[in-house]
Structure 1
């Protein structure tokens, strides 16, 4: 049974107790060592100083910044960003020095090129070709397999680098003449040849137009660019007229307008605007969308 004797009843020289004893076991009341107490007081002072100097107190929105304004989170983010920039610099240098074929053959470079190309496409190309690269009237769909100037990675890189009818000395060239506006063909001939090329892809032409006449007009004026079978010519940027893909629309009115007034769409030259690594990354990315050859 507990003995609840009061402290101070211990004999002289005996350990100081609290006066509590349980089953013969006394509870001592020895003072703590001074060094321990000083250490405790120092940590208390340190804690108050830390609360003042560093972020510590939560607020409704955010927290107190402390007089030093230090943020471990910001420090870590800055270190991570520095490492990322260093890695990017090394990767961009590798992309710039490698050919498109070498980039596609290296898994690490390919991943970097696809990520770089996707970001560059959104910043520079999506305004015309759309965020998903499916294009619109007058701007090619980059996900299909219809390429005016060729769809290999190297050909795509050249088109991006120098553009088409951009004014650059190495730009892709090739115009669709204005046969009607310039008086090369009469209105009936324009409608006939428009109906003829539409028939090649199974589409209806201008009512009453002669397909036979259209074939004659095509042979005399269009074969030089589009070829005998109207399959197109990538060297001249002449499209394949036998597939269902029409850059400027496939209605009779749209095709008549193309034959009459010509087309001279411009693809900007990105050389000088974008660095070599970004241009190569764009070529790899666009080719990887699924329509590249």
Structure 2
């Protein structure tokens, strides 16, 4: 077994611990490090007194200086809103059809509308407005309730089939599973598929036409082109909100669909509604 090294007078004290005969020196921390550490403690105590720091049950300590990041953000929002007051008044009161002819107004509307869309609309219609299953694509020119800027603005303001706004657009497709038998539903589905492509079973198309004319043509029209006054989709363009395969169409006819869009008139200002309507209209699908 090796002998432990001899201690000299210059050696510092040890911690008293030994590992295999090796002792650990108890070297003091450098003074500069200790003073830096003490300063950080003093700084932390002073910071927690001066600024919001310690969480409570309902709120955090406010701090002696009364600093608030939320108040700063609210102040900045108020400053920006004040700076845009004049153009927002112009936008809210402008005839929607003339916004595109005013470069200053249309530029502001596109920018502000993009911000509103990404904040409130992208969750359903997608960040690029291409939609998703059950949520319309806003880039094409197929609109259930009309795609001119006036119609878009009305839809945004009042929504669709909601219970909050008495002026919401409203239509309801019957659940034909309670009206027709399975064979009649299958026949109608195959006829509808034939209007825009290839039916799943061509032998059912002729019988399906009779079922369609008796039960569906009142809303979707005899030629299947739909009716925007009722929000009835065009069945001849192969554009489907929920899907155009035989199983999905059978489900739609059997159980119906009932998509809801909230009204935005109580959440957005008139200027914001005008802006987002203008933004959506100029994406490429507005009429």
Q: TM-score, normalised by structure 1?
A: 0.69
Residue 284 of structure 1, aligned match among 274, 278, 286: 278
Give the Cα–Cα distance (whole angstroms) in 1 for the partners of residues 139 and 243 of structure 2.
17
Shift of 1:89: 1.7
Is residue 249 from structure 1 mapped to residue 246 from structure 2 by the alignment? Answer: no
Identify the residue that residue 271 of structure 1 maps to in structure 2: 265
Residue 173 of structure 1, aligned match among 147, 170, 173: 170
Give the Cα–Cα distance (whole angstroms) in 2 for the partners of residues 83 and 159 of structure 1.
30
Give the Cα–Cα distance (whole angstroms) in 2 for the partners of residues 154 and 98 of structure 1.
12
1:91-146: CA deviation from partner (whole Å, max 9, x where unpaired):
11211121212322211011111111100000000000000000011000000111
Shift of 1:263: 0.8
Give the Cα–Cα distance (whole angstroms) in 2 for the partners of residues 256 and 81 of structure 1.
50
Give the Cα–Cα distance (whole angstroms) in 2 for the partners of residues 138 and 212 of structure 1.
29
Shift of 1:277: 0.4
Residue 192 of structure 2, aligned match among 188, 197, 202: 197
Give the Cα–Cα distance (whole angstroms) in 2 for the partners of residues 209 and 239 of structure 1.
25
Aligned CA distance change for structure 1 residues 233 and 91 (closer, same or farther; 3 Å): same
Secondary structure in structure 2 of the residue aligned to 1:265:
coil
Q: Does structure 2 retain, via aligned residues, the 8 Å contact 1:232–1:238?
A: yes
Secondary structure in structure 1 of the residue aligned to 2:176:
coil
1:224-263 correspondence to structure 2 within 5 Å: 224-263=218-257
Query: Rg bigger for which structure?
Result: 1
Is residue 159 from structure 1 mapped to residue 159 from structure 2 by the alignment? Answer: no
Q: Does structure 1 retain, via aligned residues, the 8 Å contact 2:190–2:202?
A: no
**Where does structure 1 lack aligned partners over 5 or more consecutive residues?**
1-79
Shift of 1:90: 1.6
Identify the residue that residue 90 of structure 1 maps to in structure 2: 86
Shift of 1:86: 3.8
Identify the residue that residue 114 of structure 2 maps to in structure 1: 118
Q: TM-score, normalised by structure 2?
A: 0.70
Q: CA RMSD in A?
A: 1.7
**Where does structure 2 lack aligned partners over 5 or more consecutive residues?**
1-75
Q: Does structure 2 retain, via aligned residues, the 8 Å contact 1:191–1:209?
A: no
Aligned CA distance change for structure 1 residues 101 and 224 (closer, same or farther; 3 Å): same
Identify the residue that residue 181 of structure 2 maps to in structure 1: 186
Shift of 1:84: 4.9
Task: Give the length in aligned residue pairs.
Answer: 211
